[in-house]
A and B are shown apart, each in its own frame.
Chain A
């Protein structure tokens, strides 16, 4: 899957979860850059991504996911396996 396209879809999910229509995310965006990105919203983000792309993150993998870039990398890895 095209990384840019994937990035856009993930951005859409971020916009929905944080309810900010114009939210722009970067590779380095992490929970420090978005005020509302707390542990509970993190769960919501992950489950929305899992649902949208029909993938499942393992528990250990989730611990490592702290910025958008690493999240996208992991997603690409998973999507390639399907």
Chain B
């Protein structure tokens, strides 16, 4: 049983944290991140437990911790130490205990408006001042107060604390939509979910100024780690489901279409319907869903013809129903969708199948969902596998992209040569310098692309904004359209200009458009831009990662020559005057 999965074994984590940490440090490779914690109450245990969750996710944090309740001072005033620390992420741990002034009973509505404004301005000042660090800011919203002397009217009387907190939280939400480096750690939800009675411990507050109970700390850390995962592009992308007793009750091969339980007839069918609705929601917001089931294909497919079924056969990007071992099927699913194996979550009611899959392919997340269908959703939802940090238009369209890809694959079979097929797609690309409306998508794509990524360099929203305005950079995005539809913004390249040389620091492309010649169209435009800037030489890098083998020779294909080689990492050089365009298939229209 994974210690860091829902439901958390709280007492074990708290009690054995030191030996847990030692074990975590033993066994894997980490990416390093600098995380600053600015606290409005005691944070030492939060820091310790958060470290465990991050280590478990392959992130090794270095911490900066503000002095007790010095979150405001540390953020707003000149802070050499924090500057030197160079944070990748700043977490602001404030709670209702940090609200400076709640309304007095004789305040009128205008007084209260001023109080609200003061409170919000204080955070505006913090965020504004922290924006100088160009990093992600994770900000708690407010939990409700444990006590409410007004009783129930506390939530609607203008003097109520609950009322006041709701107003503040609403203002935080609005700002989080506007500021692209601000992420809300929703402790209002978390404390409600856990129960305020459990969330806040008066005794612990009085003794040690922890604004939450000891038992809530792992839950808080878990929640923060989910946000950090999403910021670093570590969220999962695809949900793989078993069929019998997972998507519906019963075994379709034995019970037949009429015999399976889905709908509202029985408690079991109701629970499976709720499960399907949840999965449908994930799909509609861009999570890819797939089936992996031991069944005859025809029989399995029929299950979704059931009149009460919420999911349709066409909702699934890959549908593996056969008698092969599930781990083989899952590997094929990852290959067909073209995503890394560690982007998959597998849900199966059979402990044996779960065991085989998790032992054969350790990268896949296989939660121990138990045997109660009523709680399956929790094991997906509360583990935060699919935590999103923004819902882009591309996310909402993603499943369409993959569906369109299936049509493209069907076509592929009909052509004599692959080039014939590509020509038949009637592809048109738009390749231009970064523009403001695309910056969110650009940051998102950079930070979540692992395979077609030459340097795996990550950028914050702030850095991307700066680069977009810089004269010293060549920064191109590429969008690709074809006769089946719009593939969206799928390619990004960033080069830094120094004198007559351009250094390519970043080259990424979405796996959605691999083998479509888009990289060549991008590079032609990149060279054009270089010529425009009077650049004579381009230097490019390939930094080997566990996932980007597919592009190890990309620069060779572009016509570069290798100048340095070290542990699989390579440096390449190209003389601009030698370059001849390599794309003749995609039409580039930048009008």
Contact = CB atoms under 8 A, between A and B. Distances in A.
Interface of A: 13, 16-19, 39-40, 43-44, 47-48, 51-52, 57-59, 62
Given A19-B19, A40-B45, A47 B206 contact: no
Contacts of A57: 203
A19 B20 CA distance: 10
B214 A62 contact: no
A43 B217 CA distance: 13
Interface of B: 11, 14-16, 18-19, 22, 42, 44-45, 203-204, 206-208, 210, 214-215
Contact of B14 (A18, A19, A48): A48
Contacts of B15: 13, 16-17, 48, 51
Contacts of B11: 48, 51-52
Contacts of B16: 16
A59 B18 CA distance: 27
Nearest to B10: A51
A44 B19 contact: no
A65 B37 CA distance: 31
25 contacts: A13-B15, A17-B15, A19-B19, A19-B22, A40-B42, A40-B45, A40-B208, A43-B45, A43-B207, A43-B214, A44-B214, A47-B204, A47-B214, A47-B215, A48-B14, A48-B15, A51-B11, A51-B14, A51-B15, A51-B215, A57-B203, A59-B203, A59-B207, A62-B203, A62-B207
A43 B204 contact: yes
Nearest to A12: B15
Nearest to B44: A40
Nearest to B203: A59
A35 to B, nearest CB: 14
Contacts of B44: 40
B45 A44 contact: yes
Contacts of B18: 16-19
Contacts of A58: 203
A4 B18 CA distance: 26
Contacts of B22: 19
Contacts of A44: 14, 45, 214
Contacts of B45: 40, 43-44
B212 to A, nearest CB: 12
A58 B208 CA distance: 14
Contacts of B14: 44, 47-48, 51
A2 to B, nearest CB: 22
Contacts of B215: 47, 51
A79 B22 CA distance: 34
A23 B164 CA distance: 50
Nearest to A57: B203
Contacts of A40: 42, 44-45, 208
Nearest to B22: A19
The list of the 5 closest CB pairs from A to B, nearest first, reads A19-B18, A47-B214, A16-B15, A48-B15, A43-B208
